[in-house]
A and B are shown apart, each in its own frame.
Chain A
Amino acid sequence: MSVNTKDDVILLLHEADPGPARSKELARRMAEPDAIRSRAVRLGEEEATPREDPKQRVASHRLRRIALAAALGAGVVAAALSILPLSGDEGPRESSPTAGDPTEGTFANAFDALTTASAVAATGSSEGTYPYYTRLLVHESGIGDANTWTGSNTPRFVVGETVERETWFRADGSSHVRYTTSGAEFPSLADEELERAERQARPGLSSPYPPAFEDSFDISPRESRVAAPDRLGCYGLEPAGKRLPRDPEELAKLLESIDGERQETAQRTACGIPTVNSPAGDLVQVFHFVSALLLFAPYDEDLRAAAYDLAAGLDGVELDGRARDPVGRLGTSVSFEAALGRGYRPGPLTRHSLIFDTDTGEPLASVKEQVNPRTDTGSPVADYLVLLDAGPVDSVGERPE
Chain B
Amino acid sequence: MSASDVDAVFDRCFQAHYADLLRFAARRVRDAAEAEDVLAETFAVAWRRRDSIPDPALPWLFGVARRVLANRRRTERRADQLAARLASEPPPAVADPSELVACRAAVLAAFAELSETDREVLRVVAWDGLDPAEAARVLGCSRAALKVRLHRARRKLERKLQAEKGVSSDQSHPNPRPQESR
Contacts and interface: CB of A to CB of B under 8 A. Distances in A.
A19 B127 contact: yes
B93 A22 contact: yes
Nearest to A8: B169
A10 B125 contact: yes
B57 interface: no
Nearest to B10: A41
Nearest to A27: B22
Contact of A22 (B26, B154, B179): B26
Contacts of B175: 15
Interface in B83-123: 90-94, 100, 103-104, 107-108, 111, 117, 122
Given A5-B177, A30-B36, A116 B19 contact: no
Identify the interface centre among B19, B41, B145: most chain A CB within 10 Å of its CB.
B145
Contact of A1 (B46, B130, B170): B130
Contacts of B93: 18, 21-22, 25
B161 A12 contact: yes
B180 to A, nearest CB: 8
A16 B148 contact: no
Contacts of A10: 122, 125-126, 154
Interface range on chain B (Cβ under 8 Å from partner) = 35 or more
Main secondary structure of the interface of A (DSSP, over half): helix
Interface string B118-158: 00001001111111001000000111111111001010011
Interface stretch (A43-51, A61-69, A181-189, A381-389): A43-51
Nearest to B174: A15
A120 B41 contact: no
A22 B32 contact: no
Interface of B: 14, 18-19, 22-27, 29, 31-32, 35-36, 39-49, 52, 58, 90-94, 100, 103-104, 107-108, 111, 117, 122, 125-131, 134, 141-149, 152, 154, 157-158, 161, 167, 169-171, 173-175, 177-182
Given A8-B173, A33-B18, A44-B47, 11 more contacts: A9-B158, A14-B127, A15-B104, A17-B127, A40-B41, A43-B47, A44-B45, A44-B46, A50-B48, A120-B142, A313-B152
